[in-house]
């Protein structure tokens, strides 16, 4: 069973975490199941960038992003070549090492 290794994030998982994942499960769902509360303002519908993650290892094992995800990622804070939306990045048969960026752009919470 593949693992998702979440690197330490000051706010969401200070110690980091190693979680077993099922093939076809999204990185976001793996995180939420582990209690790592990555924002997902659009409820996993690929309509925002709040679940932006950077896949430090295992990126090539993921299916390629589609045009809608790429358009959303263009708006993400701290975009890198290995950036994906956690709701769209599905675990395959390889372990992933994932970094959760320090900041997200959440237009919903910023308006309040």
**pLDDT per position as a tens digit, 63-100:** 999 999 999 999 998 999 999 999 999 999 999 999 99
* Helices and strands in the chain, H and E counts: 3, 5
Q: What pLDDT score was predicted for residue 79?
A: 94
Q: Would you put residue 65 in left (φ > 0), alpha (ψ -120 to 50) or beta?
A: beta
The C-alpha angle 69, 21, 106, rounded to 5 degrees, equals 35
Q: Would you state the structure tokens that stand for residue 27, as one six-digit string?
A: 């990185």
Angle at 63 between CA 22 and CA 99, to 5 degrees: 70
User: How far, in Å, CA of 17 to CA of 112, rounded?
Assistant: 32
30-70 pLDDT, tens digit each: 999 999 999 999 999 999 999 999 999 999 999 999 999 99
Query: Is residue 86 within 8 Å of 28, Cβ to Cβ?
Result: yes
Q: Evaluate if residue 12 carries a pLDDT over 70.
A: yes
Domain 3-110 carries which CATH code?
A: 3.10.20.30
Q: How far is CA 105 from the centre of its chain?
A: 14
């Amino acid at each position: 069973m593949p693992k998702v290794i979440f690197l330490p994030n000051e706010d969401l998982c200070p110690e980091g975490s190693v979680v077993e994942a099922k093939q076809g499960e999204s990185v976001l769902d793996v995180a939420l199941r582990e209690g790592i509360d990555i924002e997902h303002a659009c409820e996993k519908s690929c309509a925002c960038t709040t679940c932006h993650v950077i896949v430090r290892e295992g990126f090539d094992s993921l299916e390629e992003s589609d045009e809608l995800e790429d358009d959303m990622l263009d708006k993400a804070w701290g975009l890198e070549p290995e950036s994906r939306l956690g709701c769209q990045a599905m675990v395959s048969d390889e372990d992933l090492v994932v970094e959760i960026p320090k900041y997200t752009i959440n237009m919903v919470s910023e308006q309040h």
